[in-house]
Structure 1
């Protein structure tokens, strides 16, 4: 049976790639974008199986109206892929108030509004799957992406909590946590800070050098089969890392965290009183 999938941020990158993969296998897709012309090719190829919708996830009222349109058009929503988001590049001190607020507004509050809008539909159905595109930087951090890291840490806490609140209703949640991929996430979709504090030059240089590593960036098309596996699984994971950089990096991070927890066990217990 084909699924009804609602996906945000479908104009490019993962969103467009996954929307096309879903359509190719016969699913029906409600695809949102700020610029609907970016979806013209999919509409021409897949006709009524795709519902293109303009959406700014920062506009809560528009989010709820869009979800209502999707439900009325397709009759249900089986899967939400909360994909809209971007990154602010620059050190934390150099990030402006506007950049910081807009980063959180899109990555965190945008995900919150879409989740809140879809949940009544899923509750009524007593079924559904919320797939939130997070990042391995919602589990650990790297310099030069402080506000992006923070937004994804917030998203991780949000969706994990939602999962615990709705599991008894037959609703599943999954956090997809990619490392870097060769999309335009670090290019045209990114925002750069403009301040240039000399003390941070070594950090900037090290960050730029790491990005030049030939094996740093994953192939976006390699994510298609894993995503479909998650959607089709009767018991999907709560979290799933995408990419070997994410996998090996998080193994090291969690090993070190467990060492610290165990080394300071006596102090932690004593702090209880």
Structure 2
């Protein structure tokens, strides 16, 4: 028998034993171990049993689901539009009690949800960058959990014929969704635009989560949780990793949900025109001359991501399927991702490519207008070269 045939035979034996072990379960694995030691094939047998055990654990974890309940409160920030607007509706449809935070209770998103869901989605004004607003939101939550006796008119939370029930509410999850994105090269951003992204995406999330940590510990709940924009998100990822380790001993899970790109269905770039104007007005004369054509082409391209006057629920079945896993998986993953094949393909290339290729792939992935020097800039560069020579 040749070496190739031997390899195929061993592979067949391993697969066959894996299949047998999975089918026979725990007792079958004990028999397999005894047979392996008796036949002096302990290394192979132990490897097969270990792989089988890991597979069974993985399968079990993927199957077990928790149940949604109106007694479980899910708090979602940034529900005025986009992802938060969509998740608030989907979460209450799943069967949870939802407290949705809106920057303004008079926003179009707030009115739309109020008109469709009435009191089934509890609305609160919440600016996560404002300490007073955060404190008021926490007090509202504490009112739900600490009121004695715990009797509420269910019709103010979800439709139930105005009947009164005694219920025990628990903070089940915080979904830190509120975010601000300003599209523009780093040099173009004003100090205010940089600070706004840091204040909302990073510091605001810190502030709100920190204020709710005591309630999270009490409830043993699951916490799902461009240069400056990317930096704030990267910082949140690192923060989540550390927070997960800190809170695990209290029975609190910290989860990162990466929902992919849905810019055309979101309103995250709703203020892009104002941001562009602010960047343009802050340019020096030299910057106006240097970036003139490129700045125009760059922002004309971005203008295709039109602002939606009325927020719409995101239409993506797979997005909601993965989101449900973050709330209902009994043994949740650390990270849940939803991305198209194109995103997955490029992100894999980013991760494993050397830097020179990685930069090229990022440029291809973004598909942004290319920078080309103007004739005056070419002349300026030629003059510099002459001086150097």
Q: What's the TM-score, normalizing by structure 2?
A: 0.56
Does 2:282 correspond to 1:188? no
Counterpart of 2:47 in structure 1 is none
What are the superposed Cα offsets for residues 215-268 of structure 1, whole Å, 9 maximum, x if unpaired? Answer: xxxx9322222111221111222222222243222211222279x9xxxxxxxx
- Measure the CA separation in 2 of the matches of 1:198 and 1:176: 42
Does 2:222 correspond to 1:129? yes
Does 2:196 correspond to 1:102? yes
CA contact (8 A) 1:8 1:31 kept: yes
* More strand as a share of residues: 1
Distance 1:199-1:240 versus aligned 2 partners, 3 A rule: farther
Gaps of 5+ in 2: 1-67, 146-168, 305-312, 358-389
- Measure the CA separation in 1 of the matches of 2:354 and 2:171: 39
Does 2:350 correspond to 1:253? yes
CA contact (8 A) 2:179 2:268 kept: no
Q: What's the TM-score, normalizing by structure 1?
A: 0.78
Distance 1:210-1:10 versus aligned 2 partners, 3 A rule: closer
Counterpart of 2:51 in structure 1 is none
Task: Please identify, of 57-66 and 161-170, the stretch whose mean Cα deviation from structure 2 is larger.
Answer: 57-66
- Measure the CA separation in 1 of the matches of 2:201 and 2:345: 25
* More helix as a share of residues: 2
Counterpart of 1:237 in structure 2 is 333
| CA drift at 1:51 | 1.4
| CA drift at 1:205 | 5.1
Count of residue pairs brought into register by the alignment: 242
Q: Which of structures 1 and 2 has the bigger CA Rg? A: 2
SS of structure 1 residue aligned to 2:95: coil
Distance 1:130-1:246 versus aligned 2 partners, 3 A rule: farther
1:76 to 170, 175, 179: 170
- Measure the CA separation in 1 of the matches of 2:336 and 2:290: 37
- Measure the CA separation in 1 of the matches of 2:265 and 2:122: 24
Distance 1:89-1:220 versus aligned 2 partners, 3 A rule: same
SS of structure 1 residue aligned to 2:205: helix
